[in-house]
Amino acid sequence: MASTISGGVVIGLGLSCSTKLSKSVPSTRPCRLSVKMAVSIEKKTFTLQKSEEAFNAAKELMPGGVNSPVRAFKSVGGQPIVIDSVKGSKMQDIDGNEYIDYVGSWGPAIIGHADDEVLAALSETMKKGTSFGAPCLLENVLAEMVISAVPSIEMVRFVNSGTEACMGALRLVRAYTGKSKIIKFEGCYHGHADPFLVKAGSGVATLGLPDSPGVPKAATAATLTAPYNDIAAVEKLFNENKGDVAAIILEPVVGNSGYIAPKPEFLTAIRKITKDNDALLIFDEVMTGFRISYGGAQEYFGITPDVTTLGKIIGGGLPVGAYGGRRDIMEMVAPAGPMYQAGTLSGNPLAMTAGIHTLKRLQKPGAYEYLDKITNQLVTGILDAGKKTGHAMCGGYINGMFGFFFTEGPVYNFDDAKKSDTAKFARFYQGMLEEGVYLAPSQFEAGFTGLAHTSEDIQKTIDAAEKVLGQI
Of 450, 165, 196, which Cα lies nearest the Cα of 285?
165
Contact 401, 312 (CB under 8 A): no
Name the phi and psi angles at 17, rounded to 5.
-140, 150
Rounded Cα distance between 153 and 290, Å, is 13
b/e per residue, 334-370, with b = 16+ CB within 10 A?
eeeeebebeeebbbbbbbbbbbbbbbebbeeeebbeb
Contact 56, 35 (CB under 8 A): no
Tally of CA atoms within 13 A in the half-sphere of 424 that contains its CB: 19
Q: Give the list of residues 6+ apart from residue 12 with CB closer than 8 angstroms, or none.
A: 38, 39, 40
Measured CA distances, 397 to 138, 381, 403, 426, 448 (Å): 33, 12, 6, 21, 9
- Active-site positions read 189, 284, 312
Q: How many helices (H) and strands (E) does the chain have?
A: 15, 17
Rounded Cα distance between 51 and 82, Å, is 5
Rounded Cα distance between 67 and 438, Å, is 19
* Per-residue DSSP letter, 350: H
Which class for 184: exposed (0-12), middle (13-18), buried (19 or more C-beta within 10 A)?
buried
